[in-house]
Amino acid sequence: MFYLSLPNSDQILWASERSGYNHLYMVDLEQGMIQHPITSGPWNFKSIEHIDEKTRTIWVATYGFNKDEDPYHVHLVRTNLDDDSSCQAITEGDGTHTWNWSPDRRYIIDTWSRVDLPPRTAVRCAETGKLQLVVHNNVDARGLKDLVLPERVAAVGRDGVTMIYGIIIRPINFDASKKYPFGYTGRLYEWAKEGYIVVQMDGLGTNWRSKKFHDVCYKNLIDSGLTDHVLWIKEAARTRPWMDLSRVGIVGCSIGGMNAVAALLHHGDLYKAAVADCGSHDGRLGGAIWNEQWMGYPVDDSYTENSTITYASELREESRLMLVVGGQDKVVHPAATIRLAKRLQDEGKEYRLIFIPDGGHCCGLEGNSLQEIKEFFKECLLL
């Protein structure tokens, strides 16, 4: 919940998803009623950047303001506190923007970039967005040694309508005549250097799209957006023969660790190997302050239905799974991983377990354990 009181008035600014997107509303405190929306449209208010009380003008950071761009790009927008009809983008350029204000707030220094485009910087009028000065233009990234520019890819999700956005990173010295194993993970470039095609994409259930998009995850964390990931990967590989669909792996930490196991359990026809680092395999064994946001309260059958432990018997014989757990994890109880391991053992399933006695949350992706994870994927995916 977000709200901000306006000084010397009986009004507050209040954020709500009542329209299907996160927007600002003016609320009359005396009447306890919404007076009018301040922002509106198929995009999301992110944060308030500045308010000029004299002119009743407000500047806000937004997601998805420009409909023809990636909806995760951030733009600065100016509008009026008294209606939603004057929303105007102050930043310009296909990318995510950051900005710094001049001391008198008449101008902004606008810097924007994308994963496939180095930063550009310009000075703009804070009132109109008019370009005043180009400070720094695009660097020719092709001349930068060992830099592999990601490729942006969008594909239709499970509903046949919603676009799912992601990126592909190719290894250094990429050879299109070869076939590469791949998967998605953090530390993208580090894994690309190991000889993998690395992908990262969104899926139904995350925030900063629409409320409908986000609500998919409510009491449904086991979904993990994986159905959309599978469709995205197959669509990307359709025109990229160097992406080998027979060698797909996934690694994740925390809820991402649960996602990695769910990929093998429910989408084992595509995913062949997974590493789950300190996975949140059962919402009843993690912090309530996090789990109850998505799973609700009281604890009901949905917690069982959204635990990977429940589906351990569905792990395929050909699937390869490594579990990593830290004995000092204070975010997700180590019992979550241990109980999953016990259930897998009871079901006669093969898996590997790395226990790090003094390890905290997400301790697997560093030091000796990271090297073991790399060796595991080499064994499972690299020819």
Same domain, 131 and 176: no
List, for residues 111-124, the tens digit of each pLDDT value. Answer: 999 999 889 999 99
In this prediction, residues 14-20 reach a mean pLDDT of 94
| Residue 172: pLDDT band with limits 50, 70, 90 | confident
The full DSSP string for 79-102 is: EETT-SS--EE---SSSEEEEEE-
Same domain as 265, residue 239: yes
In a domain, 167, yes or no: yes
So what's the pLDDT on residue 7? 73
The domain total for the chain is 2
pLDDT 10s digits, 343-369 = 999 999 999 999 999 999 999 888 888
Q: Are residues 153 and 122 in the same domain?
A: no
User: For position 266, what pLDDT does the model report?
Assistant: 97
Give domain status of residue 126, yes or no: yes
Is residue 216 one of the residues assigned to a domain? yes
> In DSSP terms, which residues pair with 180 in a beta bridge?
243
**Position 125 in a domain:** yes
Looking at the structure, tell me whether residues 165 and 116 fall in a common domain.
Answer: no
Instruction: Give me 343's structure tokens.
Output: 């259930």
Q: What percent of the chain has pLDDT over 70?
A: 95
Residue 142 belongs to a domain: no
Same domain, 273 and 375: yes
Which helix (H) or strand (E) segment holds residue 113: the answer is strand 107-114
Residues 44 and 129 in one domain: yes
Q: Which of 80, 107, 136 is the last residue of a domain?
A: 136
Using one digit for the tens of pLDDT, what is the confidence trace for 246-293? Answer: 999 999 999 999 999 999 999 999 999 999 999 999 999 888 888 898
State whether 201 and 96 are in the same domain.
no
Q: Which of 111, 136, 161 is the last residue of a domain?
A: 136
- pLDDT-based confidence at 183, cuts 50/70/90? confident
CA distance 99 to 93: 13
pLDDT digits (tens, 9 = 90+) for 320-347: 999 999 999 999 999 999 999 999 999 9
Sheet containing strand 352-356, strands side by side: 151-156, 163-169, 197-201, 180-184, 243-253, 271-277, 320-326, 352-356
Query: Tell me, what's the pLDDT at 193?
Result: 87
Q: How far apart are CA 318 and CA 32, in angstroms?
A: 60
Contact (CB, 8 A) for 132 and 107: yes
Question: Has residue 352 been placed in a domain?
Answer: yes
- Per-residue 3-state assignment (H helix, E strand, C coil) for 13-47: EEEECCCCCCEEEEEECCCCEEEEECCCCCCEEEE
In tens, the pLDDT along 44-87 reads 999 999 999 889 999 999 999 998 899 999 999 999 998 878 89
- Under a CB-based contact definition with an 8 Å cutoff, are residues 74 and 61 in contact? yes
Q: Are residues 199 and 224 in the same domain?
A: yes
Flag whether pLDDT at 204 surpasses 80: yes
What pLDDT was estimated at residue 140?
Answer: 59
CA distance 149 to 13: 41
Residue 230 and residue 298 share a domain: yes
What's 132's domain CATH number? 2.120.10.30
Statement to judge: residues 153 and 86 lie in one domain: no
Structural domain boundaries, residue 231: 148-381
Q: Is residue 141 part of a domain?
A: no
Indicate whether 132 belongs to any domain: yes
Which residues partner with 184 through β-bridges?
250
CB 167 within 8 A of CB 189: no
pLDDT higher than 80, residue 144: no
* 252 & 347 share domain: yes
Here the CATH number for the domain that contains residue 155 is 3.40.50.1820
Structural tokens at position 351? 């898996």
Among 87, 114, 136, where does a domain finish? 136
Q: Which position has the higher pLDDT, 366 or 162? A: 162
Same domain, 164 and 204: yes
Task: Give me the chain's average pLDDT, please.
Answer: 91
Summarised one tens digit per residue, pLDDT across range 92-107 is 999 999 999 999 999 9
Is the predicted pLDDT of residue 296 greater than 70, yes or no? yes
